[in-house]
Amino acid sequence: MTTPVMGHAPTRASWGSRVWSWVTTTDHKRIGVLYFVTAFSFFLIGGLEALLIRLQLSHSGNTLVSAQTYNELFTMHGTTMVFLAVMPLSAAFFNYVVPLQIGARDVAFPRLNAFSYWVFVLGGLFLNASFLVGAAPNAGWFGYANLTSSQYSPGLHIDFWVIGLQVLGIASIAAGINFIVTIVNLRAPGMRLMRMPVFTWMTLVTQFIIVTAFPVITVALVFLMFDRFFGANFYSVAAGGDVLLWQHLFWLFGHPEVYILILPAMGMISEVIPTFSRKPLFGYAVVVYSGMLIGVLGWGVWAHHMFAVGLGPIAESVFSATTMLIAIPTGVKIFNWIATMWGGRIRFTTSMLFAVGFIAMFIVGGLSGVMHSSPPADLQQTDTYFVVAHFHYVLFGGAMMGIFAGIYYWWPKVTGRLLSEGIGKTHFWLTFVGANLAFFPMHFIGLLGMPRRIYTYDPALGLDTLNLVSTIGAFIMGTGMLVFVFNAIWSRKRGVPAGDNPWGAATLEWAVSSPPPVYNFSVIPEVRSRIPIWVENGMTPVPAVPPEPVHVPPGSYWPLVAATGIIIAAVGAILKTLLVVLGGGAVLVVAIYAWALEPFEI
Amino acid sequence: MTAVAQHTSTGLDNRKLGFWMFIGSECLLFGSLISTYLVYHGRSVSGPTPDEILNIPLTSVSTFVLLMSSLAMVLALAAVTRGDRLWTRVWLLATAGLGLTFLGMQAYEFTTFVHEGLTIKTNLFGSTFFVLTGTHGAHVAVGVLWLLTQFVRSLQGKLGPEKAINVEITGLYWHFVDVVWIVIFTVVYLLR
Amino acid sequence: MSDQLSHAEHQHPSVATYVTVAAVLTVITLVEVGVFYIPTFHPVLAPVLLTLSATKFALVVMFYMHLKSDSRIFTMMFSVPLLIALAVGIALLFLFGVFTLGGGGA
């Protein structure tokens, strides 16, 4: 390699040192890849849980799994998909793409970035280790009190959940702060905020929601932990406590959380659609401002998850109004995307198919969502499969399809090779057809009376056929995922080499090689446009070789050690052994000091 | 941290920016704890009530101690900025000392309450009070550790004016913890 | 070394300012405790105490944490979450019937 680079370059010499370079990496691109592989693995695990659920429900009176196992399956499916799949898949893109899009060499705090990843992996493993001891969380992904009390949920199931989620929260908040500072402070010259790519904007808003919403669920979980471990009374009815405290605190987090889940995907398709329409995004400012508005208004709607608890007419009216209001900035973007395509020269690549599929399915999910905003209507819909239909349309049809659009779009940038379009289109159609088969019938199943979270149902309900159709759809989706995995493997050796800008896209990440050099930009460009590659003089050129050596920060193992300290403490908590908790804490403190004192320059 | 001040889009230091965002995040943490305390206020079905057990004179003194520690902190920052090694150490140690005093008084308060029959299990007040003030106290403890670390760094001659930003950030943390106590003192003790 | 003060930040307040603020904080605390103990003030206890403590809060944040003289960006990063916390807190108080409104039960 002739490129003059300082710092440690990964050596091809030994397998051990290659693994070590990944373990100690502080490079946002590698951390992005690590997030992706880990998150996608958890996505497949969550998918397996879904398939088991659908198998159990494929006909009435089924006995494939017991009620207890079923409770664990739907709890872990939800928890996994929200915290271990969609969020970290988005994080993979925040990591890889954002520094490149803003013309930076890395994030503001590379070691903190690595720390977030390791805490995520270890936290996810911790949560799933519960299966190994037969104590997987089993009270739903939202863990309502006082079902989750020690009285009604004895054993370790909820302890794993309470501790695991707090650990994961640490990773998210740390990453949130990191990306906010990165986006605010490390932009290339000329990259004003309103020149940033929409994906970066949506990332910024998402991180802001994360750092404000996660503390609330942390508090809710801390209360639950104190109740279960130390006999506190936060959710104790006998002591005068109110179980609704949990619901309020949880949904104060939980509603912003759904915007955390969808905004990144919206950002991704806001890049994909203009690229494959060969037209700049229509109404960039509107899309950005509506994203910000969602971030703020998202704080005002939480009790729409509680319309059936008896809030009273004033509270219900207020939350109903705010919920209807938030449909506006959410829906406005749809018009922006369609207007972008209108009059464009559209190429239906796999990425574009997923983006258009997102629009279609998100509209359906948004419509059912707005139906929930009316409390009297919601009284029939809540806790039925109608709600399950809604959120799978927005979370799978929306967030996941958007993420797949992003995967097909940025894959060549990351790996240097394109995914196969033929295999990709097969993946798309299997996914799109499968998802609609799986989730559309749920609207009817729900309105016809099938509640959520039941492990079986009576044949007299007459819902066998619809449930079976849904199950078939789920398996078609599963097949689609296998096709994608095959595509990913195929592309490694047989994918078409990509070059810098295979799609002819407009933003900065496409101005460097695929994959980018370790230092991203040989020279940080000056940016003069929102679509720097598309306009004359939109950016200063980025030479192929740096004119002078570029400093690349070294790796560090302290982030991993710190994360390990946290997990040791978590294990100590599960084992109810103070010594182990303190040991973990000691490891963490030592790691923090070593981290602070080691020489490290970005 | 040894990162050199680098060019940033806003001209603001990365660490200071990140730390203010962290403080924003902590507003939600303490906000949720305080809201819970307020929501559950007066709903205990048994056990010692705030009226019976809270010691206003004691807590007024500890509040004053914490307020003065913020003064010491800001004087430490001024000392670091002008390169005054002696007074940097004096004020850092004073801040830590006042923080420890506050913690000592809290420990005394907690043990007194336990003897008087208020624990985390006793009733709603016990749970909300101990978790809220305990979380705050834990934050103070971390702050004391941080201050003592800076003090040791100063003794090692590694805390010159170019490191003032580190002390400033320590100060941001410390003042925030003080400010949270201002709210807790009013809401828990005076508005009982 | 033009180090910790970049051109985007202003000069920090003087020692005299710091000590003055500390004196004001002390006085306010004394007033708070006084108001607490003097029965005449009890009808207005809550508004008075909340105002006084809000003042202390603002003084520490603006002067000791330099928010008044520092970049607006820091102010935004602090005040937006603070506002969210306040709004949510007040909403919760209403929802749990702490302010008896006759409309919302928890």
In a domain, C87, yes or no: yes
Neighbours of A422 (CB within 10 A): 10
Distance of alpha carbon A304 from alpha carbon B30, whole angstroms = 24
Residues C61 and C16 in one domain: yes
Q: Give the CA-trace dihedral at A395, A143, A578, B107, to 10 degrees.
A: 110
Beta strands at A550-551 and A5-6: parallel, antiparallel or unpaired: parallel
Is C104 in contact with A312 (Cβ distance < 8 A)?
A: yes
Assess A293–C contact: CB distance below 8 Å, yes or no.
Answer: no
B16-62 per-position pLDDT tens digit: 999 999 999 999 999 999 999 999 999 999 989 999 999 999 999 99
What whole-number distance in Å separates Cα of residue A407 and Cα of residue A125?
A: 24
Angle A347-A352-A356 (CA atoms, 0-180°, nearest 5)? 115
Model pLDDT for residues C10-64, shown as the tens digit of each residue = 577 889 999 999 999 999 999 999 999 998 888 889 999 999 999 999 999 999 9
Q: 3-class SS at A107?
A: coil
Predicted local distance difference test score (pLDDT) of residue C41: 83
For the domain spanning B14-190, the CATH number is 1.20.120.80
**Is the distance from CB of B102 to CB of B147 less than 8 angstroms?**
no
Q: Is the predicted pLDDT of residue A5 greater than 90, yes or no? A: no
Can you give the pLDDT at residue B2?
A: 37
CB nearest to A310's CB, from C96, C101, C105: C105
Residue C6 covered by a domain: no
Give the pLDDT band (50/70/90) at residue C99: confident
From chain B, pick out residues whose CB is under 8 angstroms from the CB of A217.
none
Whole-angstrom distance, CA of residue A45 vs CA of residue A143: 20
Interface with C, mutate which of B64, B165, B182 (most C CBs under 10 A):
B182
C6 touches B13 (CB < 8 A): yes
Longest Cα–Cα distance of chain A, Å, equals 76
Over the stretch A549-564, which tens digit does the pLDDT of each residue have? 999 999 999 999 999 9
- State percent of chain A over pLDDT 70: 98
Which among B161, B162, B179 has CB closest to C61? B179
Taking the CA of residue C40 and the nearest CA in chain B, the distance in Å comes to: 15
Chain A nearest C-alpha distance from B85 (Å)? 21
Find where tokens 């996505």 sit: A43
Query: For residue A500, what pLDDT band results from cuts at 50, 70 and 90?
Result: very high
Contact C15 B75 (CB under 8 A): yes
Tell me which chain C residues have a C-beta less than 8 angstroms from the C-beta of A310.
105
Say if residue C60 is in the same domain as residue C103.
no
- Taking the C-alpha atoms of residue C14 and residue B32, their distance in angstroms, rounded to an integer, is 35
Residues shown for chain A: 602
Question: Do C19 and C47 belong together in one domain?
Answer: yes
Burial class (CB in 10 A: 0-12, 13-18, 19+), A229: middle
Write the DSSP assignment of A303-363 as a string of letters. Answer: GGGGTTS---HHHHHHHHHHHHHHHHHHHHHHHHHHHHHTTS-----HHHHHHHHHHHHHH
* Domain residue ranges in chain B: 14-190
* Residue of C1, C2, C4 to mutate for B, most B C-beta atoms under 10 A: C4
Three-state DSSP at A240 gives coil
Report the complex ipTM.
0.96
Q: Assess if residue C58 is contained within a domain.
A: yes
Using CB atoms and an 8 Å cut-off, which of residues 80-99 of chain C contact chain A?
81, 84, 87-88, 92, 94-96
Closest CA to A391 of A356, A362, A428, A432: A362
Distance, in angstroms, between B155 CA and closest chain C CA? 21
- Write out the two tokens for C89: 């807190």
pLDDT for A517 equals 96
**Could you give phi then psi for residue A550, rounded to 5 degrees?**
-105, 125
CA–CA separation, A240 vs C70, rounded Å? Answer: 46
Check CB contact under 8 Å for B24 and C92.
Answer: no
Cis peptide before A515 (omega within 30 of 0): yes
Q: SS3 string of A126-141?
A: HHHHHHHCCCCCCCCC
DSSP annotation string for B107-121: HHHHHHHHHTT--TT
pLDDT for res C10: 58
Question: Is C92 domain-assigned?
Answer: yes
* Nearest-angstrom CA–CA distance, B154 and B159: 5
By Cβ distance, the residue of C33, C60, C89 closest to B60 is: C33
- Bridge partner residues of A215 (DSSP): none
**Residue C2 pLDDT class (50, 70, 90 cuts):** very low
Q: Is residue C2 part of a domain?
A: no
Closest CA to A480 of A407, A409, A576, A588: A407
CA–CA distance, A111 with A43 (Å, rounded to integer): 26
- Residue carrying structure tokens 């520092």: C70
Number of domains in chain C: 2
CA nearest neighbour of A168 among A214, A207, A109, A223: A214
Could you read off the pLDDT tens digit of each residue along chain B, which spans 192 residues? Answer: 334 456 899 999 999 999 999 999 999 999 999 999 999 999 999 989 999 999 999 999 999 999 999 999 999 999 999 999 999 999 999 999 999 999 999 999 999 999 999 999 999 999 999 999 999 999 999 999 999 999 999 999 999 999 999 999 999 999 999 999 999 999 999 987
C20 and C62 part of one domain: yes
Which residue type does C1 have?
M
User: Would you say C91 and A216 are in contact if contact means Cβ atoms under 8 Å apart?
Assistant: no
pLDDT tens column, A135-179: 999 999 999 999 999 999 999 999 999 999 999 999 999 999 999
List chain A residues with CB under 8 Å of C103.
312-315
Say what the alpha-carbon torsion angle A145, A150, A152, A155 is, to the nearest 10 degrees: 120
Is the pLDDT at A201 greater than 90? The verdict is yes
Q: Establish if C65 touches chain A: CB-CB under 8 angstroms.
A: no
* Residues within 8 A of B (CB atoms), C 15-74 only: 15, 18-19, 21-22, 25-26, 29, 32-33, 36-37, 45-46, 49-50, 52-53, 56-57, 60-61, 64-66, 71, 73-74
- Predicted confidence at residue B7, as pLDDT, reads 82
CB A114 within 8 A of CB A96: no
Q: What are phi and psi of A239, to 5 degrees?
A: -90, 5
Q: Which of residues 225-264 of A touch C (CB under 8 A)?
A: 242, 244-245, 248, 252
A373 DSSP 8-state letter:
T
pLDDT range class, residue C100, cuts 50, 70, 90: low
Q: Quick one: pLDDT at residue C3? A: 41
Q: Are A573 and A163 in contact (CB under 8 A)?
A: yes
- Asked if residue C97 is part of any domain, the answer here is yes
Cis peptide before A146 (omega within 30 of 0): yes
pLDDT grade, residue C9 (50/70/90)? very low
Question: Which of B22, B32, B45 is opposite residue A219, by nearest beta carbon?
Answer: B32
- From chain B, pick out residues whose CB is under 8 angstroms from the CB of C74: 12, 16-17, 20
Amino acid A341 reads M
Average model confidence (pLDDT) across chain A:
96
- Which residues of B are less than 8 Å from A242 in CB distance? 39-40, 43
Chain C contacts of A315, Cβ < 8 Å?
A: 94-95, 103-104
Say what percent of chain A tops pLDDT 90: 97
Amino acid letter, residue A344: G
Q: Which of A180, A186, A215 is facing B29, going by the closest CB pair?
A: A215
CB contact at 8 A, A570 and A152: no
Dist. CA C39–CA A121, nearest whole Å = 58
Decide if A602 contacts A105 (C-beta within 8 A).
Answer: yes
Same domain, C19 and C53: yes
Phi-psi region of A10 (alpha: psi -120 to 50; beta: other; left: phi over 0): beta
CB spacing of B23 vs C15 below 8 angstroms: no
Quote the longest CA-to-CA distance of chain C. Answer: 63
Domain that holds residue C22: 12-69
Backbone angles phi, psi at A544, to 5 degrees: -65, -30
Same domain assignment for residues C24 and C55: yes
The answer for A 517-576 residues in CB contact with B (under 8 A) is none
Taking alpha carbons only, the member of A258, A229, A53 closest to residue A148 is A229
Token readout for C18 is 């710091």
Q: What is the DSSP-derived secondary structure letter of residue A6?
A: E
| C16 and C57 co-located in one domain | yes
Q: Using the beta-carbon criterion (under 8 Å), do A220 and B28 form an inter-chain contact?
A: no
| DSSP of B78-98 | HHHHTT-HHHHHHHHHHHHHH
Any idea which residue has 């509680």 for tokens?
A: A306
User: What DSSP line would sit under A485-539, residue for residue?
Assistant: HHHHHHHHHHSPB--S-TT---SGGGGS-SSPPTTS-SSPPPB-SSSTTTSTTSB
Please check whether residue C31 lies inside any domain of the structure.
Answer: yes
3-state secondary structure of A207: helix
d(CA C61, CA C76): 13
Task: Work out the average pLDDT over A301-326.
Answer: 96
Q: What is the pLDDT of residue C1?
A: 36
Q: Please tell me the distance in Å from A230's CA to the nearest CA on chain C.
A: 25
Q: Say yes or no: A312 contacts chain C, CB-CB below 8 A.
A: yes
Burial class (CB in 10 A: 0-12, 13-18, 19+), A208: buried
